[in-house]
Amino acid sequence: MSMVYKSKEEFIKNWITKNDVVLDIGFWGQGLKIDNPNWAHKFLIEQAKEVYGLDTDYDPNKIKNTEKYKIGNAENFTFDVKFDVIFAGDLIEHLSNPGLFLQSCVNNLKEGGKILITTPNCFNLFNLAEKLTKEEPTVNNDHACYFNYKTLQALLRKNHFRAVETSFLYSLGMNHKESYKKKILNFVYFILSKFTTKFMETLVVVAQKEVCPVIQPRKVAPGDHEMTVIARHNQD
């Protein structure tokens, strides 16, 4: 059953335990400064046993335990430890190859480990409203793709994950200067949220790593190889 999280803090506290070793991918570029009380990485540090980080850039002078942080590519990364949880907050929509990202997550998670994803809901109220008045809704210039829960679940299945929760996030906790139009939409958004989740701004998915089947090599009986070669020759 879908639920609505009021904030990333609530989402993190619901899924991260005191025994978890967590990797936060894109921890530095989450749209908030590190001294902002809504910085998601801070909530992870407060909640988990250990927290590691990966991003394309960060200031090591402002981070404790720098040995647990790397500059790297979310689509191709490796750590010396395996993680209970990988947190990807507002990341996947920025990537050129989301499937490669999920494959790297599979390789770095423990068996049964989970990935926590937040990403814009492509059918949120604000996008639909702008589609009525403009050729295309306003988008972040760095976003490369958008998802609804069906397409994101399909992508996860193709990369050895099983979605265990599909929910929504009410607010990202960011404050922006807003037009009167946006303020009116915010009010409509608030009212609609009391009755349905389908117009929510942010999609939340928790997916568990599936055990990949190990394919055993077939035992070749004497003469099988020779017969296969002859068969292929005859087909040619």
Q: Tens digits of per-residue pLDDT, 14-56?
A: 999 999 999 999 999 766 778 788 899 999 999 999 999 999 9
C-alpha distances out from residue 111 to 83, 104, 107, 219, Å: 9, 14, 10, 28
Least confident range from 23-27, 155-159, 211-215, 228-232: namely 228-232
Rounded to whole angstroms, the Cα distance separating 52 from 23 reads: 5
- The answer to whether residue 197 scores a pLDDT higher than 90 is no
**Residue 214: what pLDDT?**
44
**Residue 182: what pLDDT?**
72
Nearest CA to 26 out of 85, 127, 124, 94 is that of 94
Cβ atoms of residues 27 and 54 within 8 Å: yes
> Which domain range does residue 82 map to?
4-235
Q: Tens digits of per-residue pLDDT, 69-125?
A: 999 999 999 999 999 999 999 999 999 999 999 999 999 999 999 999 999 999 988
Rounded to whole angstroms, the Cα distance separating 13 from 187 reads: 28
Cβ atoms of residues 51 and 31 within 8 Å: no
**Residue 217: what pLDDT?**
46
Q: Tens digits of per-residue pLDDT, 138-179?
A: 888 899 999 999 999 999 999 999 999 999 998 766 555 667
**Residue 133: what pLDDT?**
86
CATH at residue 221: 3.40.50.150
**Sheet of strand 21-25: strand arrangement:** 4-5, 161-169, 202-209, 109-120, 83-89, 21-25, 50-55, 69-71
Cβ atoms of residues 193 and 200 within 8 Å: yes
As given in the structure block, the two tokens for residue 137 are 């809704």
C-alpha distances out from residue 189 to 28, 149, 198, Å: 29, 19, 11
**Domains in the chain, number:** 1
- The answer to whether residue 224 scores a pLDDT higher than 70 is no
Helix (H) or strand (E) holding 89: strand 83-89
- The answer to whether residue 6 scores a pLDDT higher than 60 is yes
Handedness of CA 146, 150, 153, 158 (dihedral sign): negative
**Residue 131: what pLDDT?**
87
**Residue 103: what pLDDT?**
96
Pairing of strands 109-120, 69-71: unpaired
**Residue 173: what pLDDT?**
61
